[in-house]
Amino acid sequence: MNKNMGAKKPELSELSRVRDRITFLYLEHAKLNRQDSAIMVSDNRGTVFVPVAIVSVLLLGPGVDITHRAMELIGDAGMGAVWVGEQGVRQYAHGRSLNHSSRLLQAQARLVSNKRTRVAVARKMYQMRFPDDDVSELSMQELRGKEGSRVRGVYRMQSQKTRVRWSRREYNPDNFEAGTPINKALTAAHQALYGLSYSVIVALGASAGLGFVHTGHDLSFVYDFADLYKAEFSIPIAFQIAAKYGHDKDIGSKTRLAMRDAFANGKLLVRMVKDLKSILGVTETDISVDVINLWDDKMGLQKFGVQYHEFEEDDGA
């Protein structure tokens, strides 16, 4: 076999930064292979090439057939690969993070493991949604009530603005088509937001499962993080699409395209990267991708890659 086949593995310094990438690309019923440093996507309409270093995450829907070489390239380039259900309703698996540092993960684990710091981070996230109010003294119960009132108000406002009838949020994760047009649009919009949130979290090396408000689920932190942006992105866009397309059978696809455009125009990826680091209290200079150490309970961090010798106590001889 030709050892020089394909492009060489890129160095981390060569890869696009997470915040500079295109947000996401949803694919279904297509075959994915690799050609040099691009993913070759083929379906009954033809073939396109997707440069891996400029896309944040691939949402892989039903009917996707992907080769081992394509996944190898995706992993090398730090592109998130998230396997999802029909219309992106469920998320099943994801790829390795772009950032090889565990600094964010360590900070997240430390903050979520202490009751005081966990509440402080939760308040920080709620404060982002209520910039004009001081929530520093509110309990978690009070914060939940305040947030619930805000979200209900957002739904009412968008309903009045778009003249789309609204009663309540309901959907069947096993049957996307059973929902009303607005609920189908909301499902597609929220899932696009969850996908982008998920990709940013795992790309930067944090944990999707260590939530501060939500808990007990492997996507708890994804739900925490995505909730910061629903009122600005997924809810209004869902109502706009429902008002424009009504009972269009492709309402899910149209919603995802609108979300993708809104993400790009609103530079949401840049905001998400900045917000995530702020929430976890980690600065850009705190993160180094190539540092690995050995942990010692008495001596602190020790060098990795050194051949250590057995330690012998001095017997005074």
Tokens found for residue 156 = 């009412």
Q: How far apart are CA 200 and CA 170, in angstroms?
A: 27
CA 83 to chain centre: 13
Q: How far apart are CA 188 and CA 182, in angstroms?
A: 10
Q: Return the CATH architecture of domain 12-93.
A: Ribosomal Protein L15; Chain: K; domain 2 (3.100)
Tokens found for residue 263 = 């993400």
pLDDT of residue 151: 93
pLDDT of residue 297: 62
70 — alpha (psi -120 to 50), left (phi > 0) or beta? Answer: alpha
| CA-angle at 267, arms to 23 and 222, nearest 5° | 55
How confident is the model over 172-182, as pLDDT tens digits? 666 667 678 99
Q: How far apart are CA 100 and CA 317, in angstroms?
A: 47
Tokens found for residue 155 = 């739904």
How confident is the model over 19-69, as pLDDT tens digits? 566 667 888 899 999 998 889 999 999 999 988 777 777 888 888 999 999
CATH of the domain spanning 103-286, picked from 1.20.120.920, 1.10.3720.10, 3.20.20.70, 3.40.50.720: 1.20.120.920
* Domains 12-93 and 103-286 are alike in CATH topology: no
276 — alpha (psi -120 to 50), left (phi > 0) or beta? Answer: alpha
Q: Work out the average pLDDT over 250-265.
A: 89
Q: How many other CB atoms are there within 10 angstroms of residue 165's CB atom?
A: 10
Is residue 296 marked as binding?
A: no
Using pLDDT thresholds of 50, 70 and 90, give the confidence band for residue 7: very low
Please return the burial class of 171, using the count of CB atoms within 10 Å of its CB with bins 0-12, 13-18 and 19+: middle
pLDDT of residue 290: 47
Answer whether 0.95 is exceeded by the pTM: no
- The full set of domain ranges for the chain reads 12-93, 103-286
Using pLDDT thresholds of 50, 70 and 90, give the confidence band for residue 218: confident
**Which 3-state string (H, E, C) describes the chain?**
CCCCCCCCCCCHHHCCCHHHCEEEEEECCCEEEEECCEEEEEECCEEEEEEHHHEEEEEECCCCEECHHHHHHHHHHCCEEEEECHHHCCEEECCCCCCCCCHHHHHHHHHHCCHHHHHHHHHHHHHHHCCCCCCCCCCHHHHHHHHHHHHHHHHHHHHHHHCCCCCCCCCCCCCHHHCCHHHHHHHHHHHHHHHHHHHHHHHCCCCCCCCCCCCCCCCHHHHHHHCCCCCCCHHHHHHHHHHHHCCCCCHHHHHHHHHHHHHHHCCHHHHHHHHHHHHHCCCHHHCCCCCCEECCCCCCCEECCCCCCCCCCCCCC
Is residue 227 marked as binding?
A: yes
The rounded percent of the chain whose pLDDT value lies above 70 is 74
Is residue 313 marked as binding?
A: no
On whether the CB atoms of residues 49 and 40 are closer than 8 A, the answer is yes
How confident is the model over 113-134, as pLDDT tens digits? 999 999 999 999 999 999 999 9
Through-space distance between the first and last CA atoms of the chain, rounded to whole angstroms: 61
pLDDT of residue 310: 60
Q: Are strands 65-66 and 31-35 parallel, antiparallel or unpaired?
A: parallel
268: pLDDT strictly greater than 70: yes
Task: With CA atoms as reference, report the closest residue to 83 among 58, 46, 119, 109.
Answer: 58
The dihedral built from the CA positions of residue 72, 75, 77 and 79, taken in this order, carries a sign that is positive
